[in-house]
Structures are given as structure tokens and as C-alpha cells.
Chains A and B, each alone.
Chain A
């Protein structure tokens, strides 16, 4: 990935690069997520395009120095447009032997390794399973190794502050950050400001972190172990004001904005679950915007409260991840039956069962589609990038309100925690998504009388005179909404509920095919695989291959134009971080022999993996033809 452009300047010893991928790795107590996010914020402010992949264990603090306790944060930044956090890091910052051991295999050949030599003692080496010290046994010969006694240096820098050695040791991540800031010509200003705010009132701690940061920077500048430093010029992003944002942050802001555009109150009830909790946290901090949040006693109570709020005319919603989604199934079925608007966010994580809670997967598509008793159709949508989480959150509400239906919004751990620059949109330019409540009535109100276009039923909220009526999970008599066991009525209502959701397809954008509308290979994707697929297709097309990319945001109902698009290509490849869930749906619906590419390792696809799979298919397609 590192591609030197203009060589080194002899006076400054600066090498210009298009793109660099760095991985910070250390013990889960070493502050690697913080180091990574500080480097990301500064890099985004500098004007690079950035993409990040935090990778941390589910345990808050696994045993210190152990392999399962290693926490990593990968950031890729570029002077051009990038879509992924990079396949393999160019530089690895390893704070201890375990971090080195876990991550070395991913590093590019000849890549840089920066280690804290103070952590390479006998105990830590043994915990990491090293028989010999890798820093001295020649096993790192193929890499560019930089050995820095970080703990010793921060101890020296913080001398006289009156802090314990343990407190001082905790600042070594800022030393590493300082080194990286120097190495990549970043300013320390944003991090210094952050330190001042974070440790306000704790002067000694603030000073220690600041000194560690500066010491790291100065170390890079004055010692001779780095022969050069690197310049990644700012990217040419579209004009506008930008900020750095993660998928979960964008999702939360999308819901706040949706409430504004719908002119209704947002009511969130959730039960804490990784990796969705951040959305609950963030929305809980927006009470000044009139947002009500409840931390429920369990997942079922959370969706129950959301349904109750929706029944009362608010925008009731809940956020969860796979195991919680499984618990919500029955209540989702009730929402289908009573036809109330509701948004359920599933930030997917690796399963089944508890699985790997902090790792990503796209395993909940079929559960979202079908994981309820009987035929109980629900629109399902999925953002493709962290930034897109904002617009798709608004889309979820637009569809739920207009079509009076629960909507499932499928994010995943990679989108949720990954960050990228976001061109901040203007709310004033966004269309209203407001809908009206059913008006007062003098009698004869029919709670299931449908809108002729969308088939949505009226939103008859309690407190409205003349609308007193009873709803529930029992089958409804068409239009009147009273309980009915009539066989023909049940059949009709099943068809009506299905047709209502199917008609959402009239109300969604056309599928964009990037590349040519026909060709040898279409790589189709959904959700967070967007970046890897797009980058792979870019590379393939640069080599003259007739490959295009289409990415689905609307999974139920599928866009009307999809069948025709699929048939425009010799082959269709569908990479998914599951064992072929969308592929099963599409093959069933369109009878197109889509080829799956399925990896479930808890990690996003690497660009190279998709590229290689596409190349092998293209090789085949010459023989297979059509």
C-alpha cells in the first residue's frame, strides 16, 4: 500500500506517500483505542481521507500481557479517496510482546515496527509464548525495527511531577502517539487540547500526558533512529465543512435529525449490548433536544416500551445487537400486526449466541427478514459506510412513518466503530418526513382503513376524540380492526400486510451500478463490505477488467430494478460476512446463479481478497461463457 511518490528530499529527509496504514497495538489497558482515535482526529483535521478499524477484545481487561488481551486500532489515511481501513498495516506500533505476536503476521513485508522495549521482559515474553526475544533473535530481519524504551523515557519526562510510577507508565501511549505525530508530520495541538479538557482539574496527570506526547515527538525529531519522516498530503475532498465520525455517532445523529424532520418526539428504549450501546449513550445525552431515553430491564422490555411510545404517537425505537434482536422477535411480530411505526437498530456482531461480541459480521439478515412466527414482513435497510449511517437512519424513519411499519436497520460492528470524514449536511436542505395523526372523529372510525397508495393504516393515537378503538396481536377484521377468525379475512390480511411492505419498493431510489451497466462481472454487496468491494472494483477496472459494483441499501423490499441489473452481467459475485444469506434470498427471487464469497472471521474483507476472488472468477468465465 505504501507507494513512495517523489523520493526523499536530502535536506529534510521527507518521503511523500499516497497512503499509509498504521496499526497501534498493545494491552487492552494500554490505551490503544484512545491513541488510535487521537491520531485519527488529528489526521482528519489535517485533511487526509481516513478510515479506521478498531479491534478490541470483549473483556475490558484480559490478563495483562496475554495474547487475548491485545487491543488494536488500525487507521488508513490518504491523499486520495479511500474506502477501507487498509488490508495490511505498513507500520505496527507494538507496546508489548503479545501485541507484536498477534499483529506481526498482518504487517506488509518490510513494514515498520515500533516497539516499547521496556515491555519486552522475560515475563511478558513468556506470556506471549515467545521462547526467544524476537527483538534479538533475528526473526524480525525482514522488517524495519525501531526499538524505543518508552517506559524509561516517560519516567524521565515526568520526573518531579509527584506521580506514582504506575500513573507515569500509563502515559506511554501518548509517547507512542508523539512519535507517530512526528513521523507523519502531524500537529500535536488537537491532542494537547484534548488532554487539557479531559484532565481538567488534574493538573499533574494532564502535564504528564502532555510531557509524554512531547517527549515522543522530540524523540522522533532528535534521535537518529528514524532516517526519514513521511508526508501524506491532504486529500482533495469535496468542498464543505467536515468532521470525523463513527457509524454509531452518525446513526444517533441521524435519528435526532429524523425526529426534527418528522416534527415528533423521539423515544429510545434500549438494553445495553456491545456494539450498539454507544447509540443509547449518545441519545441519552440529548435530553435538551426533548429526546427521552429509557434503559430497560431487558431487550424485550426495550422494544415493548418502544412499541408503547409508538402507540402514543412518538417515534419509538430500540437499539440492539444479534442476541438482543433474537429476544425482540415476538414484539416485532406484534408491531407488524398492529402496524405501528417503529425502528429497530441491529448493530450486528459475530455470532451465533454470544459469539465474538466486539467483532463484525453480517449474520442477522435472515433473522431480520424471517425471524418471527408466521409470515410477518418488515422492511430491512442497511447503511454501507459509517457516514451513510446518518442518511439511512433518516431513511429508516421515513419508511416507518410513511408506511406505518416497523423497520429493521442493520448496521454492524465495523460500521459502528469505524470512522471516516463526514461532510456535514445542511438540515435545512433536507425534505420533511412528517406524517399526520388520524384526526378526531364523530363516529365510524376504522382503524385499519388503508391509504390507497401505501396501504398504511391511520395512526390513531390515544387522546384523540372519537378514535377509541382496540388493537392487539389477534387477527384483525379488514378495515374495522376488530378481532376476526374468519378464514378468508385472515388470508386477505396476510396478503395486505405483505403487499404493504412490497410497495415500499415504489418509494426507494434506483440501484446505482458503479462502472458499466453490463459486463463480465458484477460484484454485489450490502452493508459494510462497501469499501472493500469498491476498492477492489477500482483496481480491477484500472487493469481493464469489465467489472462493476452495485451495493444494496434496501434489502426488503429489494429494488425493482435489481433483477435486470443482475442479468446484465456474465457473472455475479456476492461477498458477505456470513455464509451466504443475501445470496440465498437473491437466488430464490431472481433465479440467477450468484456466486458467493463468504468469510466469517469477525473482520471486514480485505480488498485483496475480493480482488483475488474476482480474478479467479473472471478466469473461469472465459471458459464457462454463457
Chain B
């Protein structure tokens, strides 16, 4: 089928007949809406799109998508996506996960899916809490966070998800916020366009068990001053007045004010999504409110052969090498090595 023959799909085509069952006011509704809105962008027929999820509130999302969907087990969605994409490179594979699912029980799989560059788009809903199990600390809960399982506060340092996936050589890294719907939609689009392992962290609000976890900097009234919207090829400028910026002093980022102390736009760190050195991605990923504005946008986007491409390449090159020696005969393979005949 050529592009022109493809039926034009709309958000409606991607809505399943199932009632959505997240708590009223949950940030997941917005993520679902942006996901459904973005899907027509890619020109992929819906039967060729698969949503795979683990366990947690996020894990429900595939039920609401009118595509193929597989709600698997806790932490393991990436493994299933690896097998599916390996067996079926023709499919578009999305993985929906949460901070507990991806970073705690599924931490190992996350690392390996990224280093393998499995061609899947992983959306991680980060609400810094276990919501489905009714409010325990997650690997992204801030130290000291009091929850049902940590009544005196957590004593564990949180994981910085983007720092982790950068260390694991993820080829696409981005962050957005559930309520910043336009930006989120743009990030979903960018993730979908990427070939290779895409990791999109969505700062998502759990209004029941961890309400306002991100409010300090995501709230409309303060976000201009407290968040940094990354744009490829542009200097890192933020603030309601657009007068603040980030300067990189060696390995140390600094917040500077343009026009003060002789600082000009030319001194600012210019964002390069395609920077091959992930260590600068990691510096960016570690910038956090209140010391820094929290960056959102595409942190990193580098081309790298995907796992399924390499799998297929090896098979094809082995086939070609073998074909040069004559047709493959399985019967001969059974008789490999020394044989003898009894008559």
C-alpha cells in the first residue's frame, strides 16, 4: 500500500470501546488523549501498531487504544517488546510503563532495551509513587518522602530516570509534563518518529496518592521561570522575561542572567540533541529545581542501528554466505559431521 492509499485516520480511530477507568483528575487521561491524537501522525495502519504495558496504573493504557495491545506483567513489557520487534520488524511498538514498573521491578530490562536500541517507544509515566497498590514509595520518590510503606520517610536516594537511560546509551531521550498537552503531544510525535529505543519521561500527577508532586515547577504560574524548554540548536534560555539562561562552565552548568555581569546569549549552552557524547545529556538530566530550571524537551536523539535491524542483517548475511555454497538443505544439516551407513 502506498502512502496515498492509506486511509486518513483520526484520534477517534484510535479510541477503543472500553470505558477508561483511571481516577477522575488523573494525569493519565491527558497522556492517553495525546497518545490517541498523535497516532495518526505516523501513517501507520492501526493493525500494525502494538501497545505493550507492564503493571501499574499506566499498564491500563493499551486497553483504551484501538490497536493491538498487550497488558503484560510487572516490569517485563520491554522484554516482550524486544521479542515482538525482533520477530516482527514491520510493526510499530510502543511500551507504556511507570516509575515503579520501569525503574524498580523492570530496571534491568530498561537498561538492556536501551543499550540494544530496541526500536520501541517507551513512555514512562513518572508520578513518584505506587498508585495502583495505593501509595507506597517508588524509586523516584524524593528522599524523606512519607508514604504508607515509609512512615518515617524514605531513606533511599531517588533514581534520575533520564540520567539512567543516558548511561544505558538510549538513542532518544525526552521529557514532558502531563498537563502541558501541546508539548507532550509534540514529544510523543518526536518519539514516534525516532528509529530506535525512544524513552519519554512524562511527569504525571497522581492526584490521589501524591498530588502536586511536580507542581512546584510545572504549575502554569511558575513554569516559565522554573522549567527550561529545550530546543535543538538554540541557546538554553528560560524565564518569563526570557532573560535567564544556562551556561556550561566545564562540566558545571550555571544559571546566568543575560545582560548581567557581561553575560550575553553567545555565552549560553546551545542545545544539541545530536551530541554524540551522552555525558552532556547526563549533565542536563541532573539539572533540577530549585537549583536549576527543570529541562523538558528532546534531550538526545542520535542515529544508531536498531536491534531488529542488526538481527535481520545477521540472518541475511548468514543466508547470503550460505547461498554461495549452494542451497540450504536441512536434511544435510541433520547429517553434519561424521556419518556411517549400516546396510
Q: How far is the CA of A483 from the CA of B76 in the complex (A)?
A: 20
B291 at the A interface (CB under 8 A): no
- 1/0 per residue A470-488: CB within 8 Å of B? 1111100000001100000
Q: Is B235 an interface residue (CB 8 A)?
A: no
Interchain CB contact under 8 A, B83 and A316: yes
Contact of B340 with A290 in the complex, beta carbons under 8 Å? no
Query: When the two chains form their complex, are residues A470 and B69 in contact, meaning their CB atoms are under 8 A apart?
Result: yes
Q: Are B79 and A472 in contact (CB under 8 A)?
A: no
Contact of B338 among A239, A244, A256, A333 (CB under 8 A): A244
Given A241-B340, A330-B73, 13 additional A-B pairs, CB 8 A: A41-B337, A253-B333, A256-B333, A287-B318, A291-B315, A305-B79, A308-B85, A308-B87, A311-B70, A465-B47, A470-B63, A470-B68, A473-B73
Residue of A with least CB distance to B314:
A287
CB distance A307 to B335 under 8 Å? no
CB-based nearest A residue for B307:
A294
State the Cβ distance, B241 to closest chain A Cβ, in Å: 48
* Stretch in A167-175, A374-382, A420-428, A511-519 touching the partner: A420-428
Residues in B whose Cβ lies below 8 Å from that of A307: 72, 79-80, 83
- Where the two chains meet, the residues of A that have a C-beta atom closer than 8 Å to any C-beta of B are 41, 44-45, 47, 190, 236-244, 253, 256-257, 260, 265, 267, 269, 286-292, 294, 296-298, 300-314, 316, 330-331, 333-334, 338, 424-428, 461-474, 482-483
Q: Would A308 and B340 count as touching, CB distance under 8 A?
A: no
A483 close to B338 (CB less than 8 A): no
* Size category of the binding interface on chain B: 35 or more
**Bound-state Cα–Cα, A190 to B16, Å:** 66
| A-B residue pair count with CB separations less than 8 angstroms | 209
Min CB–CB distance A63 → chain B (angstroms): 34
> Which residues from chain B contact A310 at a C-beta distance below 8 Å?
83
Residue contact A308 to B63, C-beta cutoff 8 Å: no
* Closest B residue by C-beta to A426: B331
The main secondary structure of chain A at its interface with chain B is: mixed
B86 pairs with A294, CB closer than 8 A? yes
Indicate the member of B91, B111, B339 with the most A CB atoms within 10 Å: B339
- In angstroms, Cα B270 to Cα A417, docked, is 60
Instruction: Please give, as numbers and ranges, the residues of chain B lying within 8 Å of A269 by CB-CB distance.
Output: 82-83
Q: Does the CB pair A425–B334 fall under 8 Å?
A: yes
- Distance, CA A290 to CA B330, complexed state (A): 12
Closest chain B residue, CB of each to CB of A47: B340
B109 at the interface (CB under 8 A from A): yes
Report 26 cross-chain contacts, Cβ distance below 8 Å, ordered by A residue.
A242-B342, A243-B338, A267-B87, A288-B315, A289-B330, A290-B315, A296-B82, A297-B112, A301-B76, A301-B82, A303-B79, A304-B72, A305-B79, A305-B86, A308-B83, A309-B83, A309-B87, A424-B339, A428-B331, A462-B47, A463-B91, A464-B47, A470-B16, A472-B69, A472-B71, A483-B63
B15-62 contacts to A (CB < 8 Å):
16, 18, 45-48, 50, 52-53, 55, 62
A523: min CB distance to chain B, Å? 30
Contacts of A47 in B (CB 8 A): 340, 342
- On chain A, the residues within 8 Å of B336 by CB distance are 243
B319 interface residue per 8 A CB criterion: yes
Distance of A256 from chain B, by nearest CB (Å): 7
Q: Which of B75-118 contact A (CB under 8 A)?
A: 76, 78-88, 90-91, 108-109, 111-112
The CB with the most chain A CB atoms within 10 A, among B16, B53, B86, is that of B86
**Contact check: which of B72, B109, B321 meets A288 at CB < 8 Å?**
B321
| Contact A312:B83 (CB < 8 A) given known A239-B342, A301-B76, A470-B62 | yes
B311 within 8 A of A: yes
Given A309-B86, A427-B334, A467-B47: A290 in contact with B112 (beta carbons within 8 A): no
A331 in contact with B66 given A244-B338, A309-B84 (CB within 8 Å)? no
Please measure, in the bound complex, the distance between the C-alpha atom of A8 and the C-alpha atom of B221, giving whole angstroms: 105
Within the assembled complex, what's the spacing in Å between the Cα atoms of A56 and B271? 58
B309 at the interface (CB under 8 A from A): no
CB neighbours (8 Å) of A240 from chain B are 341-342
Whether B339 pairs with A241 at a CB distance below 8 angstroms is yes
Chain B contacts of A237 at CB under 8 A?
Answer: 342
Is the Cβ of B315 less than 8 Å from the Cβ of A292?
yes
Instruction: Indicate if B343 sits at the interface (CB-CB under 8 A).
Output: yes
Pair A308/B318 contact, Cβ less than 8 Å: no
Contact of A304 among B18, B79, B85 (CB under 8 A): B79
In the complex, A307 Cα to B338 Cα: how many Å?
Answer: 37
For residue B156, give the distance in angstroms from its CB to the closest CB of chain A: 23
Which B residues lie within 8 Å of A257 (CB)?
A: 330, 334
Which residues does chain B contribute within 8 Å of A302, judged by CB atoms?
Answer: 79
Complex CA distance for A464 and B88, rounded to whole angstroms: 12
Q: With A242-B342, A311-B70 as given contacts, are A305 and B90 in contact (CB-CB < 8 Å)?
A: no
Cα–Cα distance between A458 and B90 once the two chains are bound (Å): 21
Minimum CB distance partner of B311 in chain A? A292
* Chain B residue contacts of A338, Cβ below 8 A: 70
Q: Is the CB of A253 within 8 A of B334?
A: yes
Cβ of B274 under 8 Å from chain A = no
- Of A41, A301, A330, A473, the residue contacting B109 (CB under 8 A) is A301
Of the candidates B315, B331, B342, the one having the most CB atoms from chain A within 10 angstroms of its own CB is B342
- Contact between B338 and A190, CB atoms less than 8 A apart: yes
Q: Are A305 and B83 in touch, CB under 8 angstroms? A: yes
Q: Which residue of B lies closest to A330 (CB)?
A: B73
Q: How far is the CB of B197 from chain A (nearest CB, A)?
A: 14
Beyond A41-B338, A240-B341, A468-B47, is A304–B16 a contact (Cβ under 8 Å)? no
The CB with the most chain B CB atoms within 10 A, among A41, A298, A301, A307, is that of A301
Whole-angstrom distance between the alpha carbons of A69 and B224 in the complex?
Answer: 69
